Amino acid sequence: MQHLITTSDFSKEEILELFEDARLFKDLTSNNYLNGKIIVNLFFENSTRTRSAFEIAAKRLGAQVISLDVGRSSRSKGETIFDTIANINAMKPDAITIRHSECGLPGSLIEHVNCPIINAGDGTHAHPTQALLDLFTIVEHFKGETEGKKVAIIGDVKSSRVAGSNRKLLPRFGMEVCFVAPDCFKYEGDEYKQYNHISEIIDEVDVIMSLRTQLERHHEVYFESLNEYAKDYCITEETLGERDILLLHPGPVNRNIDISDEMLKDPRCKVLEQVSNGVAVRMAILKKLLS
């Protein structure tokens, strides 16, 4: 039995096979691959977008979904997360999808269950399904030719689990990842090149991945307002000029903070394609882990 806690749970070959399925699922029509399967969605952090994508993916495959709002009941009765999981596991679901604010929590549950665990985001640690859909969008855009491509991840790199997963996943497919961030949002480590401003490398990059500025994850106030951040880090028409750059964002986009209104309408910006791909890739992941 296989889990998906971080992208390293899948080999490069497995990921390419996954993408073959995702390609078949791209129109998002329904099939019967997971008829009779039950998937429990445990979202301790609220997320309309990711929860919906997982739910639609499961239902398009013919599976049933049970969404547990665990926060409201079990926890108010003082139950530990491990007891909650042991109980859900005793009801014998075919998979458990979990989002939690604590780094590493989904991985620590593996030994307590008899079904695949899928990490739908854990704190600032990892968001493997997002990174896989980002990679899939890049692979499709470059028709598989990802070797040597340069990807600039811009924004709150420090607390982004999307950055956390992508910086490990993309280099496995020959890409070079660098970060663009103000000092307060910089990655703590020196394995990646880091820049203060996108202008320093705009002429070299093939992909810009803008991140959502998540002020709620910081304990200190770094900017007087998001507008101050936006002055230097918002991706605008001026930033890209005529360059052939693929612009991505995990959503939801802070309009005119992360990306400008105009750039969101620009054909180089593929944020909605990422959303569609997100369902297709999750369908492929669920099919792989459950069937």
Task: Give the binding site for its own copies (CB under 8 A).
Answer: 27-30, 35-38, 40, 46-49, 52-53, 55-56, 59-60, 64, 66, 68-70, 72-74, 76-80, 83-84, 86-88, 90-93, 251-255, 272-273, 275-276, 278-279
List, in sequence order, every residue forming a beta bridge with 127; answer none if it has no partner: none
List, in sequence order, every residue forming a beta bridge with 117; answer none if it has no partner: 96
Please, what is the minimum distance in Å from the beta carbon of residue 271 to its own copies?
9
Check the annotation: does 212 bind a ligand: yes
- Looking at beta carbons only, is 68 or 202 nearer to its own copies? 68
Please, what is the minimum distance in Å from the beta carbon of residue 223 to its own copies?
16
- Looking at beta carbons only, is 47 or 194 nearer to its own copies? 47
Return d(Cα 132, Cα 15) in angstroms, integer.
8
- Looking at beta carbons only, is 26 or 150 nearer to its own copies? 26
Instruction: Give Dmax (Cα) for the chain.
Output: 58
Three-class SS of residue 177? strand
- Looking at beta carbons only, is 9 or 140 nearer to its own copies? 140
φ/ψ region of 78 (left if φ > 0, alpha if ψ in -120 to 50, else beta) reads left
Check the annotation: does 50 bind a ligand: yes
Return d(Cα 119, Cα 172) in angstroms, integer.
20
Please, what is the minimum distance in Å from the beta carbon of residue 79 to its own copies?
5
CB 34 within 8 A of CB 63: yes
Check the annotation: does 255 bind a ligand: no
Check the annotation: does 252 bind a ligand: yes
- Looking at beta carbons only, is 50 or 146 nearer to its own copies? 50
Please, what is the minimum distance in Å from the beta carbon of residue 258 to its own copies?
11
- Looking at beta carbons only, is 127 or 167 nearer to its own copies? 127
CB 213 within 8 A of CB 155: yes
Please, what is the minimum distance in Å from the beta carbon of residue 10 to its own copies?
23
Return d(Cα 117, Cα 3) in angstroms, integer.
5
Q: Compute and round to an integer the Cα radius of gyration of the chain.
A: 19
Check the annotation: does 49 bind a ligand: yes
Return d(Cα 143, Cα 129) in angstroms, integer.
20
Return d(Cα 56, Cα 25) in angstroms, integer.
12
Return d(Cα 139, Cα 194) in angstroms, integer.
24
Please, what is the minimum distance in Å from the beta carbon of residue 73 to its own copies?
4
What letter would DSSP give residue 4? B
Q: Residue positions in the annotated binding site for L-aspartate?
A: 77, 161, 212
Q: Residue positions in the annotated binding site?
A: 49-50, 77, 99, 127, 130, 161, 212, 251-252
Q: Residue positions in the annotated binding site for carbamoyl phosphate?
A: 49-50, 99, 127, 130, 251-252
